[in-house]
Amino acid sequence: MKFEGYNFAPTLKRNLENLGFRKPTDIQYRSIPPILNGEDVLAIAQTGTGKTAAYAIPVIQLMSAKRDRMENYGVRCIIMVPTHELAIQVTEVFEKLIVEMGINVIGLHGGVEQAPQIKRLKNGMDILVATPGRMFDLASQGFLSFNSVEILILDEADHMLELGFITDMQQLIRRIPKGRQTLFFSATINEHIKDLAYGLVRHAVRIQISPKDPVSKNIDHSVAFVEMDDKRFFLERIINEHPESKMLVFVRTKVRAERVAKALERVGLKSQTIHGDKVQDERSQVMTHFKEGINKILIATDISSRGIDIPNVEYVVNYDLPEVAENYVHRVGRTGRGVQRGVAVSFCSTEEKPILDEIESFLAKSIAVIGIDKREYEETVDISEASEHDWKSLIKESNAQLAMPKKKKKKKK
């Protein structure tokens, strides 16, 4: 069934067509009917399958079909997300879909001035996309009312709950109308999170797409056994072998991100970093540069692995393996999105092998290993511009020594 066959508002249909939405993906096809029927939904689907549109499209239709007068600082639909970047991205999706529909949306997150946000909230808002911190902060100041909430959506819901937001969720649920509709969307879910999720929804329709393999079939993912101190040489090699490719490199900490960027800079490779220590304006600029291809190498912590849709990322490199096995799925899912194919390569040091075991246990399958023999390994290290013992330097040093005049031996008396 194509989107033109749905009983949507004409303007929504036109917007879908203008954006190239012709036919729903599996998660969209299965989510739209129960959401339109007002049912609670618990949906699990691989990254890159169109989960945001799966709830955005029916929510916009519901908003357009019922136009209530909003109270001051009131809101009809709340979408809670774990990061600033995801709040910005989800807001952009809604903004494109609600063109000329008379529906308003606001993205609410920290790192920016709150005064403009308060001004927009004053006359009420149809759709609010928010991170918990800024949302509860404005609510405590009296600039946000939950009395008119009809729909609550948790996007990347497992991550929200894992980050300790369950208390915030329970607090919010006590403050919004009991007759609300609750939608729970994520790429992964474990048993503990599942129990928490069922505590937030009522008789939810459960939708699960490709549960046996959480990694999209469009992604070729593999692992290479590389020692911690040698990872920079192998990253340099991958970048040099694919100079035109857009590449997202994941590291474990903010300090590691900056160190890897410095290591690349020393060998003449340009990159940018994104992590929690950067102010929001800088993070937004870095994301824009990467999306537009101004910068092709982005080094990120897991702040950028959840839900972010960056077009045309050909390669994902797990420079460090993630500490949480589920994050492997979210990281590699930044490539191979939609109908595009992608490649993900992970570096695994000796001390990271237990983490690799956990990831493979989560996937319920082994990850393909890239065979690197001793000679190839040594050559990768030796040809690096940063190597202290590379062959080029040795040859230059040898030639220089040969060119030096020999000292005359003193004759014995």
Statement: the pTM of the whole predicted model exceeds 0.75: no
Residue where a domain stops, chosen among 155, 176, 208: 208
Q: Do 148 and 260 belong together in one domain?
A: no
Beta strand pairing status for 151-155 and 181-186?
parallel
Query: Is residue 44 in a domain?
Result: yes
Residue 153 lies in a domain: yes
Are 8 and 154 contained in the same domain?
A: yes
- Per the structure block, which two tokens stand in for 117? 């946000």
Shared domain check, 72 and 197: yes
What's the 3-state SS for 371-412?
CCCHHHHHHHHHCCCCCCCCHHHHHHHHHHHHHCCCCCCCCC
Residue 393 lies in a domain: no
Query: Would you state the pLDDT for residue 170?
Result: 77
248 and 119 assigned to the same domain: no
127 touches 59 (CB < 8 A):
yes
350 and 327 within one domain: yes
The encoded tokens of residue 333 equal 């899912």
Residue 167 lies in a domain: yes
Pairing of strands 41-44, 368-369: unpaired
Last residue of a domain, one of 208, 227, 251: 208
User: Which of 177, 166, 169 shows the shortest CA–CA distance to 153?
Assistant: 169
Residues 168 and 305 in one domain: no
DSSP string over 20-43: T--S--HHHHHHHHHHHTT--EEE
The reply to whether 201 and 317 lie within a common domain is no
Convert the pLDDT of each residue in 92-131 to its tens digit: 999 999 999 999 999 998 888 899 999 999 888 999 999 8
pLDDT at 188: 73
pLDDT tens for the chain, 413 residues long, are: 799 899 999 999 999 999 999 999 999 999 999 999 999 999 888 777 788 999 999 999 999 988 766 677 899 999 998 888 889 889 999 999 999 999 999 999 888 889 999 999 988 899 999 988 889 899 999 999 999 999 999 888 777 766 667 777 778 888 899 889 999 888 777 676 677 777 777 888 988 886 567 787 889 999 999 999 999 999 999 999 999 999 999 999 999 999 999 999 999 999 999 987 888 788 889 988 998 899 999 999 987 656 567 878 999 999 999 988 888 988 998 898 777 899 999 999 999 999 999 999 988 899 999 999 999 998 898 877 665 544 444 445 455 555 555 555 555 54
What pLDDT, on a 0 to 100 scale, did the predictor assign at position 76?
94
One domain for residues 176 and 200: yes
CATH number (domain holding residue 318): 3.40.50.300
- Identify whether 394 is part of a domain: no
Encode burial over 264-293: b for 16+ CB neighbours within 10 A, e otherwise: beebebebbbbbeebeeeebbebbeebbee
Q: Which domain holds residue 313?
A: 219-385
Residues 201 and 225 in one domain: no
Domain count, the chain: 2
User: What's residue 166's pLDDT?
Assistant: 75
Check whether residue 174 and residue 302 sit in a common domain: no
Token digits of residue 136:
């509860």
pLDDT reported for residue 62: 95
On whether both 187 and 223 belong to a single domain, the answer is no
- Which residue is it, tokens 């992590």? 275
Residue 126 domain-assigned (yes or no): yes
182 & 317 share domain: no
Q: What is the per-residue pLDDT for 395?
A: 45
